[in-house]
């Protein structure tokens, strides 16, 4: 994030200093504000200075006129929903005025810099679709999205937050601050209600009829439905993701031709990069990159699509104190053999033993890919779905995905 903030500060002509724990100052007295990187936990000493301003709060001071902000958060599904909304909005409005940002490879500070570099008469009425992590939402004071989606709430990131209630309330900051309203699931509503969160009046529940209509997804404000099998997204969780996206873009639909473009986009939209993305058929196997799977819940969702064709699974990573109690059934139903990596491999090994499936442990992605290939058969899927954060073995989920792709590519070259 530092490089993107540096670009923004330079463009704004503001003095700044970038540092990390290895060269942090002995005193913070000379600083007016401190913008911590998202991975700096709330227990770090900078939070006691009273000078912390989140990246979102800082950026909100400089948004051009009539910038419309849509935020998507939750434990799982937020990246897919962000991707869908971004593409659907581009299909019914000026594509150059729709941006994808936040916890989605492009920080909000980078998106803002690019907007501010446009000629003044081209800066207004842009739409930014922002994926927001709990870290980003933790200390919000100024940032107010126009619309918010909360996908679901499960245990996550307890190595950063002090407890589960704090994690949930970080997400709820976006609901509290949404100007036009929020869409949340019944599940998320109940989780927040149980901890005593006071809901604003402009909150709407959605997805309540998805399970009973699956695989058909009712269209908004019109008759008819979309069959999920006509899209490249499978599973009840993706039907819910599509329903969220449809609710958000509904306000921009002005005609039946707009609606037709929405449906056409949904039926042709490719998988989100690094989210159950088929990357190769090396050696007759189906190699699938699901590196954005960073929680036990997202791993279970990925495995739910393979009950009829068991996979060779590569899983594991940094320990976020995620509960893996419910994983055993998913492993038994969908996995033939597992290759385990990272700090959680012992925890996952225990779940594999309980599920009655074979496994091995690996210390590198290249070895993990070779092990997975050795235990697979032709036309079987080899699925990288870590179910954990990437830190420790990799810089981030993108580095993890890149190393997976490189290892598969190297394996493919041995085929020639």
Residue 125 region, left (φ>0) first, then alpha (ψ -120 to 50), else beta? left
pTM: 0.79
> What are the residues whose beta carbons fall under 8 Å from the beta carbon of 188, sequence distance 6 or more?
74, 150, 151, 152, 153, 171
Q: N- to C-terminal Cα distance for the chain?
A: 41
Q: What pairs with residue 288 in β-bridges? A: 278, 383
Q: Which residue has the tokens 């976020």?
A: 320
Coil, helix or strand for 105? Answer: coil
Running DSSP on this structure, what letter comes out for residue 63? P
Contact, 272 vs 79, CB < 8 A?
yes
pLDDT value for 415: 63
d(CA 89, CA 102): 17
Contact, 301 vs 237, CB < 8 A?
yes
pLDDT value for 400: 96
pLDDT value for 321: 79
Spell out the per-residue pLDDT of the chain, length 416, in tens: 678 999 999 999 999 998 877 777 888 999 999 999 877 888 888 999 999 999 999 999 999 989 999 999 998 888 889 999 999 999 999 999 999 999 877 899 999 999 999 999 999 999 999 999 888 999 899 999 999 999 989 877 777 778 899 999 999 999 999 999 999 989 999 999 999 999 999 999 887 778 888 888 888 767 778 898 899 887 788 888 898 888 888 877 778 888 889 889 999 998 878 888 889 999 999 999 999 888 888 898 889 888 888 999 999 999 877 778 789 999 999 999 999 999 999 999 999 999 999 999 999 999 999 999 999 999 999 999 999 988 889 988 899 999 999 999 999 988 65
pLDDT value for 1: 63
What kind and span of H or E run contains 76?
Answer: none
d(CA 405, CA 416): 17
Q: Which of 35, 68, 278 is nearest to 179 (CA)?
A: 68
> What are the residues whose beta carbons fall under 8 Å from the beta carbon of 22, sequence distance 6 or more?
none
Identify whether 307 is preceded by a cis peptide bond (ω within 30 of 0): no
pLDDT value for 200: 95
CA angle 67/71/77 to nearest 5° reads 150
Residue 387 region, left (φ>0) first, then alpha (ψ -120 to 50), else beta? left
Number of neighbouring beta carbons within 10 Å of residue 15: 6
pLDDT value for 332: 96
């Amino acid at each position: 994030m530092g490089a993107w903030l540096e670009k923004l500060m330079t463009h704004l002509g503001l003095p700044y200093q970038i540092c990390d724990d290895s060269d942090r100052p002995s005193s913070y007295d000379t600083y007016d504000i401190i913008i911590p990187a998202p991975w700096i936990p709330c227990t770090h000493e900078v939070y006691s200075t009273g000078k912390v301003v989140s990246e979102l709060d800082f950026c909100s001071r400089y948004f051009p006129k009539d910038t419309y902000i849509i935020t998507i958060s939750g434990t799982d599904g937020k990246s897919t929903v962000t991707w869908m909304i971004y593409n659907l909005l581009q299909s019914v409005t000026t594509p150059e005025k729709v941006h994808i940002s936040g916890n989605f490879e492009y920080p909000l500070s980078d998106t803002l810099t690019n907007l501010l570099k446009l000629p003044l008469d081209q800066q207004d009425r842009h739409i930014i679709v922002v994926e927001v992590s709990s870290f980003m939402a933790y200390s919000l004071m100024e940032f107010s999205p126009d619309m918010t989606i909360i996908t679901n709430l499960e245990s996550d990131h307890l190595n950063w937050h002090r407890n589960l209630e704090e994690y949930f309330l970080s997400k709820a900051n976006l609901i509290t601050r949404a100007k036009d309203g929020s869409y949340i699931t019944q599940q998320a509503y109940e989780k927040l209600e149980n901890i005593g969160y006071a809901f604003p009046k402009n909150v709407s529940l959605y997805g309540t009829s998805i399970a009973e209509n699956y695989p058909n997804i009712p269209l908004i404000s019109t008759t008819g439905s979309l069959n999920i099998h006509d899209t490249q997204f499978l599973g009840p969780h993706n039907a819910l993701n599509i329903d969220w996206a449809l609710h958000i873009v509904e306000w921009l639909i002005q005609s039946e031709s707009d609606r037709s473009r929405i449906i056409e986009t949904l039926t042709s939209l490719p998988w989100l990069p690094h989210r159950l993305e088929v990357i190769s058929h090396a050696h007759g196997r189906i190699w699938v990159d699901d590196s954005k799977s960073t929680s036990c819940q997202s791993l279970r969702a990925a495995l739910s699509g393979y009950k009829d064709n068991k996979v060779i699974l590569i899983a594991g990573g940094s320990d976020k104190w995620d509960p893996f109690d419910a994983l055993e059934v998913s492993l038994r139903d969908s996995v033939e053999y597992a290759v385990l990596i990272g700090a959680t491999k012992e925890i996952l090994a225990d779940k594999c033993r309980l599920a009655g499936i074979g496994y091995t442990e690996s210390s590198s992605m290249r070895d993990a890919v070779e092990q997975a290939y050795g235990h697979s058969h032709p036309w079987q899927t080899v699925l990288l779905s870590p179910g954990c954060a990437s830190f420790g073995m990799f810089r981030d989920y993108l580095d993890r995905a890149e190393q997976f792709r490189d290892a598969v590519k190297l394996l493919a070259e041995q085929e020639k």
